[in-house]
Amino acid sequence: MRAILLSSLAALSIIAASAPSFAGEVETGGVLLAPSGPVNVTNGGGNVNIAKGKFSVAGQSVTTLGGTVLGRGRTITNGGNNRNIAAGAFSQAFQDTTTVGGSVIGRGTALTNGGNNTNVARGFMSTAQQSVTTLGGTAFGHGLSVANGGLNTNVAAGKFSEADQQILTIGGTATNHGASLVSGGANKNLALGKGSFASQEVVTAGQ
Amino acid sequence: MFRRTSVLAALVVFTALPAMAQEFGGVPLGGSGAVLGKIESLAPGCPLSQTTVAIGVNQTLNTGALAQQRVGSVAGGASGCRPLVSTQVVAGANLAFGAGSGANQTITAQSQRGLLATNSFTRGVNAAVGARSSATQQLQSLFNH
């Protein structure tokens, strides 16, 4: 009996002695700080502005100012995905969104998304105006700059309605063997209602 | 004899684990000298992280009602003190439900930029639902350099 107990205790001590390797694995699997350097994330989009009642007025202004990243960092600026809707008869909806992201100096990545916005005037004699400005990053030195400003929709659906949309997306500069990708297409501008008017201006640019 | 052995075994079990965990523990840093430099450059007394949240809900329910809301948020801390990670959230809901009602909302938040990471989330919902109602919303999220 004693021999059994002693052997079991010996086994326990062996497990305890071998436990450090297990503990070491757990600890090394803990928090990992990003080796790529600083990160700057600026989300200013995703806003909703609706004038639903008759003769109602809705105005929205959203300003988000991001920052600059030094070193092998990343700066991500999301200013798009906004919705502006004038649904009621004789209603007016105004939306102004400004998002300024950061710059990367070093082997960084600057990603700017300012598109995918929707502006709709669907009420009788309604007016919808939307202005979305997204200033993205600049990548100096082997950096990568990506700017997406497209996929916008502007619709004047109500009778004698008016929809006006202005989308400005400015991506970054990529110098010194860097790369700059700019995408601003796939936009829709529709005047569906009787006597309606729809105007759309989409500017997507690098620097 | 049995008690002595069991006590010894218990000591081995309960002391070996934490001791080795401390030896092999800590935060592995993925070989990033820049990150270490940022951490070391943190001024004494400055916080590791800073989070600022400014949320407002402003609404009118009755006819002819008027609701105005102003929300301001400024992160504290000593001057020239920048945390490693800074996060700021600004969110607002401004709703005019009553007929002929008005809802005005302004939310402004300001904080320091983080040495390692800066996260900013701004989101607003603004709706004039009632007849002849008006809703005005302004959201601002700012960071100091």
Per-residue pLDDT at A82 exceeds 70: yes
Would you put residue A160 in left (φ > 0), alpha (ψ -120 to 50) or beta? left
Report the run of H or E that residue A170 belongs to, with start and end.
strand A162-170
**Do residues B83 and B117 touch, judged by C-beta distance below 8 A?**
no
Question: What per-residue confidence (pLDDT) applies to B115?
Answer: 84
Same domain? For A13 and A56 the reply is: no
Same domain? For A135 and A198 the reply is: yes
The structural domain count of chain A equals 2
Q: How far is A59 from chain B (nearest CA, A)?
A: 5
Residue of A nearest to B11 (CA): A13
Q: Do A34 and B30 touch (CB under 8 A)?
A: yes
Give whole-number Cα distances, B144 to A43, B21, B34, B52, B74, in Å: 17, 40, 22, 13, 11
Least confident of B16-20, B43-47, B54-58, B128-132: B16-20
Q: How far is A32 from chain B (nearest CA, A)?
A: 6
B33 lies within 8 A of chain A by CB: no
**Do residues B32 and A72 touch, judged by C-beta distance below 8 A?**
no
**Rounded Cα–Cα distance for residues B121 and B87 (Å):** 8
B31 lies within 8 A of chain A by CB: yes
Same domain? For A114 and A159 the reply is: yes
Tokens of A10: 């010996």
Q: Do A23 and B24 touch (CB under 8 A)?
A: yes
Q: How far is A181 from chain B (nearest CA, A)?
A: 24
**Rounded Cα–Cα distance for residues A20 and A6 (Å):** 22
B45 lies within 8 A of chain A by CB: no
- Which structural domain, as residue segments, surrounds residue A93? 33-205
Report the run of H or E that residue B8 belongs to, with start and end.
helix B2-24
Higher pLDDT, B28 or A207: A207
Same domain? For A153 and A92 the reply is: yes
Task: With beta carbons under 8 A apart, name residues in chain B contacting A20.
Answer: 16-17, 19-21, 23-24
List phi, psi (to 5°) of A81.
60, 40
**Rounded Cα–Cα distance for residues A195 and A197 (Å):** 7
Question: What per-residue confidence (pLDDT) applies to B16?
Answer: 47
Q: Where are the domains of chain B?
A: 2-144
What is the value of pTM for the model shown? 0.74
Question: Among residues 33-52 of chain A, which lie with CB inside 8 Å of chain B?
Answer: 33-44, 46-52
Task: With beta carbons under 8 A apart, name residues in chain B contacting A107.
Answer: none
Same domain? For A41 and A123 the reply is: yes
Higher pLDDT, A134 or B121: B121
Tokens of A163: 């929809």
Higher pLDDT, B90 or B38: B90
Tokens of B38: 């940022």
The count of residues in chain B is 145
Higher pLDDT, A131 or B143: A131
Residue of A nearest to B37 (CA): A37
Same domain? For A76 and A143 the reply is: yes
pLDDT in tens, B8-18: 555 444 444 44
Per-residue pLDDT at A24 exceeds 80: no
Helices (H), chain A: 2-28
List phi, psi (to 5°) of A20.
-55, -35
Chain centroid to CA A90: how far? 32
> Using CB atoms within 10 A of its CB, is residue B85 exposed (0-12), middle (13-18) or buried (19+)?
middle
Same domain? For A74 and A164 the reply is: yes
Q: How far is B77 from chain A (nearest CA, A)?
A: 19
Strand ranges for chain B from DSSP E: 49-60, 66-74, 85-96, 102-112, 117-128, 134-144
Per-residue pLDDT at B121 exceeds 60: yes
